[in-house]
């Protein structure tokens, strides 16, 4: 679809929803906090399994050929896999339901895997080379300096306001030459550069996923380098996520294009769930219009 048309649709969707939903109230909502993030995931676990991945992955599929395929969910863990060697210590920040951690641990039985998340790992079938801790990963005091070979974080750091606190800890615990792989969202320009409608769409998308306000690519790149990490490469995968985003948009549109049904659902269900529907409704057009990028970063400790 033409990016300009997506931009037009973002405006029309924000205006359309404003006729039957109190968007300001949704945007103001609950403040972004660790409690809010964990309760969002506790509440939406079933929705992620039902609508996103039965296997418990919570990141977007990267479909290189432009067509949706379920197995495209493995792009991110496979990218990390290429950095792992026998004997390595590998840490996942924000392991979610553990799907990446368990997949990679089975692929690399000679490496040690440690996962950190606000919620505990529920899986019973956990390989011996995996341990998990329920904690905020902006404090990595359980790790010695220079002790980790590979770290990775998929679609999780976006939840946190103080990203430099996290990256200072990442730099401290990585071995010299160690690598950190991040997949996350970035605005194509600073928030202030967008018009009022697009700003509202960005705020609704951020809120919908219990994220902090999404930052621009330049701001995110500055965080990494301010913390002493080298930006080895960044790749824009936005186009490749559009098939997955389109799939979710179609589901959300079934509700949000019917004002009566939407009003009822928004009255009956908690905002943790309903604002997620808005995120699904706007996400495809935000990606296609070039407002929000989906980026892979490979960072190195010098």
- Residues that bind ligand SAM in the complex, under the rule CB under 6 A: 34, 37-38, 41, 57-59, 94-96, 99-100, 116-119, 136-138, 154-156, 159-160
Residue entry with tokens 């296997």? 55
Cβ closest to ligand SAM, residue 21 vs residue 171: 171
Q: Which of 116, 231, 119, 83 is nearest to 171 (CA)?
A: 231
- Shortest distance (Å) from residue 40 CB to ligand SAM: 8
- Shortest distance (Å) from residue 153 CB to ligand SAM: 7
Cβ closest to ligand SAM, residue 7 vs residue 52: 52
Cβ closest to ligand SAM, residue 99 vs residue 114: 99
Q: Which of 196, 191, 150 is nearest to 173 (CA)?
A: 150
User: Under 8 Å CB-to-CB from 103, ≥6 apart: which residues?
Assistant: 74, 77
Cβ closest to ligand SAM, residue 117 vs residue 244: 117
- Shortest distance (Å) from residue 280 CB to ligand SAM: 14
Cβ closest to ligand SAM, residue 10 vs residue 104: 104
Give me the DSSP letters along 122-165. --S---TTEEEEES-TT--TTS-TT-EEEEEEES-GGG-S-HHH
- Shortest distance (Å) from residue 243 CB to ligand SAM: 17
- Shortest distance (Å) from residue 145 CB to ligand SAM: 20
- Residue 235's DSSP bridge partners are 296
- Residue 124 phi, psi dihedral angles, 5° rounding: -95, -25
In the sheet with 174-187, reading across from the earlier edge strand, the strands are 130-134, 112-117, 89-93, 148-154, 174-187, 292-300, 230-236
Cβ closest to ligand SAM, residue 7 vs residue 76: 76
- Shortest distance (Å) from residue 91 CB to ligand SAM: 12
Cβ closest to ligand SAM, residue 99 vs residue 187: 99
SS3 20: coil
Take residue 256 and report the two structure tokens written for it: 């949000």
Take residue 234 and report the two structure tokens written for it: 């960044």
Q: Do the Cβ atoms of 210 and 37 come closer than 8 Å?
A: yes
- Shortest distance (Å) from residue 12 CB to ligand SAM: 28
């Amino acid at each position: 679809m033409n990016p300009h048309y997506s931009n037009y649709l973002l405006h029309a969707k924000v205006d359309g929803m404003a006729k039957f939903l109190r968007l300001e109230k949704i945007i103001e909502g609950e403040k972004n906090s660790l409690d809010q993030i964990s309760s969002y995931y506790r509440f939406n676990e079933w929705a992620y399994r039902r609508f996103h991945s039965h296997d418990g992955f919570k990141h977007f599929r990267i479909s290189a050929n432009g067509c949706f395929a379920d197995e495209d969910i493995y792009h991110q863990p496979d990218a990390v896999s290429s950095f792992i060697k026998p004997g390595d210590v590998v840490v996942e920040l924000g392991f979610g339901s553990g799907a990446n951690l368990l997949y990679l641990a089975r692929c690399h039985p000679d490496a040690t895997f440690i996962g950190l998340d606000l919620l505990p790992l529920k899986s019973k079938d956990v390989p011996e080379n995996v341990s998990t801790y329920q904690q905020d990963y902006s404090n990595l005091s359980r790790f010695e300096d220079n002790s980790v070979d590979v770290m990775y974080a998929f679609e999780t750091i976006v939840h946190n306001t103080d990203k430099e606190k996290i990256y200072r800890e990442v730099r401290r615990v990585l071995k010299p030459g160690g690598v950190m792989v991040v997949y996350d969202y970035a605005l194509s320009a600073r928030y202030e550069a967008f018009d009022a409608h697009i700003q509202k769409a960005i705020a609704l998308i951020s809120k919908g996923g219990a994220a902090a306000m999404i930052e621009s690519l330049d701001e995110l790149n500055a965080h990494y380098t301010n913390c002493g990490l080298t930006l080895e490469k960044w790749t824009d995968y936005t186009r490749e996520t559009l098939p997955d985003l389109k799939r979710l948009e179609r589901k959300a549109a079934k509700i949000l294009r019917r004002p009566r049904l939407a009003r009822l659902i928004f009255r009956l269900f908690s905002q943790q769930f309903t604002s997620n529907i808005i995120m699904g409704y706007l996400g495809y057009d935000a990606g296609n219009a070039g407002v929000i990028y989906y980026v892979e970063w490979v960072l190195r400790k010098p």
